[in-house]
Amino acid sequence: MLNIGVLVSGGGTNLQALIDAQNNGILKSGKIVTVVSNKEGVYALERAKNAGINTNVILKRECGSSEAFDVALRDYMQNKNVDIVVLAGFLAILGKQFIDAYRDRIVNIHPSLIPSFCGDGFYGLKVHQAALDYGVKVTGATVHLVNEITDGGKILMQKAVYINEDDTAETLQRRVMEEAEWKILPEAVEKLCSTLK
């Protein structure tokens, strides 16, 4: 079984989907061994603690630079024998040191159908507002590998979600999470773990 490290910055709904998938036997080729946040006091850490998962907080300001933060994250994950890293609402850009250490083993979930509404500056509600402003009828979520280009790595899985006439960014965000993100993230992580075993 591969060791999974999860990086978080917020409420941790995607982390919860992974924990639930692990408990339900959907995620069976990997096990979450640690959850790391780049922000203190986020609810994702509580979710991890409630599930009996080791947690840690690594703050960029305490590291002194982006490079030092990257190295601290990498060293921590390696010390925990992490094989695969999952970004579950992690709002920091990973640098070369980290990406090189976990090349083709870093998974991210993005709340649109890449290549639409992705890249630098597209995260959270901004993605859903952009989809509404553009007038697309279908959006969704994408699980992809992380490389040096923001949202530019190989696509592992996608799921479409239809947009309703009366959708707001908030209602759309919720539906994309429920109908797409929480389903395909655990499935994609399981698939990657089973192929790397």
Which residues are designated catalytic?
110
CA 43, CA 16: separation in Å to the nearest integer? 11
Indicate the burial class of 25 (C-beta count within 10 angstroms; 0-12, 13-18, 19 or more). exposed
C-alpha pair distances (Å), 67 with each of 11, 100, 148: 26, 13, 14
Residue whose structure tokens are 């190295």: 71
Q: Which of 94, 112, 128 is nearest to 181 (CA)?
A: 112
Question: Structure tokens of 45?
Answer: 């850490």
Residue whose structure tokens are 């992380």: 146
Question: Structure tokens of 159?
Answer: 């799921």
